[in-house]
Structures are given as C-alpha cells and as structure tokens.
Amino acid sequence: MHNTAIKHLSLNYIYLPFEVKKENLSIAIRGLKGLEIKGMNITIPYKEDVIQFLDYLEEEAELIGAVNTIKLERGSLKGYNTDGNGFIESLRIDAHEDVRGKNIIIFGAGGAARAIAIKLIVAGAERIIIANRTIERGVKLVEYINSKLSHQNSKFLKAISLKDRLLIQYIREADILINTTPVGMKNNLEPLFPYDYLSDRHMVCDIVYRPLKTRLLQEASIRGARILNGLGMLIYQGNLSFKIWTGYEMPIEIVRKILIEELEKRNSEVRSQKSE
C-alpha cells in the first residue's frame, strides 16, 4: 500500500516491515532517532506499550490510549492513532453513511473497538452498545470511554454479553452494526448473533479485509442490508499515516486497485493449495 503510493508520487522513501520481540521494543523505538527513520506504523500487540517510549502524543492518540503511527520530527517522537478516523472516513466516503444520531452496535471490546467507539461518540452517534463474548471486558471498555469522554455522557453507552437476551432488541433498533472481532478471518461457522434479525434497515460493517466478504457480510447482503468491509478502513488509516510522514495524500483509488488485486491473488493461491 505505502510503496505503491511512494512509487506513484516519485518520493524518495521505502516502507519496510520489521518484526520486533517484546523485550526489544524500547530499542526498536529508540532506533528511529538513531537511524533518523521518518516514522513507522505500530501493530498489535504493541499499540499501547510504545507510548512510554514516545516524547509526545497527538490528542487523538492520548484519548484512545493507543498509537499506530509514529513520526520523528526535529529529534522528537510523536505518536498518533489513525484507526478510528480511518473507519469513519470509510463509512463516510465508501458507504455514504453519517453516524450522527444513529444507534450503533459494536461487536468486540479490543483496541479497534475502543478507537472506533470513541470516534463514533465524538462524531455524534446517539447510542452505542458494546457486545462482547465476556461482559467484563466490555464493561472495562465502557468505563474507559466514560473516563475519557465524561463531558459527552449524554450519549447512551452500554456493554452487554453476546448471550444477553436484550441483544436481539438492540439489533432490531440499530442503524449500524460493526464487527471488530477477528471471527471473519477464521473458518468458524458459528455466527456472532442470529443473522435472521438483519434487514434492509441495517448498515453492516466488518473491519476484516481478508476475506473481503466475510460470512457476516454475506448473510447481511442476502437480507438486504448495506455492507462495508475493512478494506476502506485499511486504506484511509494508511492514508492518514502516509500524510503525517510525507505531507502527501495517497492516490486512494490506485492503492485500492493494487490491494484488491493482491488480495484476490492470495485468495486464489489459498484455494489452489486446498485443492491439491
């Protein structure tokens, strides 16, 4: 994604992956200064751990309590979080969906759910239900968000278990459903919830992009719901990081085309291996 944008814009950069062991995390982050690396992305499980090694946090990253983008600027390391904005951008641009005044259910209570929930509240969502397998984790997420957004406590925010009988009622009333769990990446036929309650009133999102159409999205589409996969979130959060480092916007549609081609190629290879 980033190298496609770099090549298209003829920039003198290269984007490389580095696998870092937990015990070497501080050394790796300090290495940005020593090597004068422009910046980097941070993926799970280090989005929270890296904060202690940074000099500054952008407001969004401080609010979310996690960093996915670091920039070296005038000898200092500044942390950003583009995940929540990446999702909101995809919802707005790809799905033409405005979250203001909407009732929303988020499935999962991890880092992605936290970033997305906070951005949805700030953007004006009316009600957010955090539905998670373990209620305790969902409650902790709600408590964290309330501690950060106490000035917006007029919004209705609640955590429930996936087995709670009230979930069906909340699904019936929901405008937008968002899956932030990795269930769509697994060969798991057990549904997150009874999909028969989906209808054409719903916007159903899955932040997974491998596969592009998870079982949740397939079932939602069959029942007339509008759907959105995680490819747009990947691209828009990447674009925000790219702009932080370079000052340039990614050529979004060129990047999207390359990513789809690569994903289809990998899916084809997987199917070929299974048939052998």
Nearest residue to 142 via CA among 162, 117, 163: 117
Q: Which of 33, 47, 71, 243 is catalytic?
A: 47
Cα(99)–Cα(125) distance, integer angstroms: 5
Q: Which amino acid is at 105?
A: I
Phi then psi for residue 6, to 5 deg, are: -60, -45
Here the tokens at position 58 are: 């952008």
- Say how far residue 19 (Cα) sits from the centre of its chain: 21
Catalytic residue at 47?
yes
H-only helix segments in the chain: 2-9, 25-35, 59-64, 83-93, 111-122, 135-148, 166-173, 215-222, 231-246, 252-275
Cβ contact 229:212 at 8 Å: yes
Nearest residue to 175 via CA among 73, 102, 84: 102
Beta bridge partners of 130: 106, 159
Which secondary structure element, helix H or strand E, spans residue 71, and what is its range? strand 69-73
Nearest residue to 53 via CA among 70, 73, 39, 36: 70
Q: So which residues are the catalytic ones?
A: 47
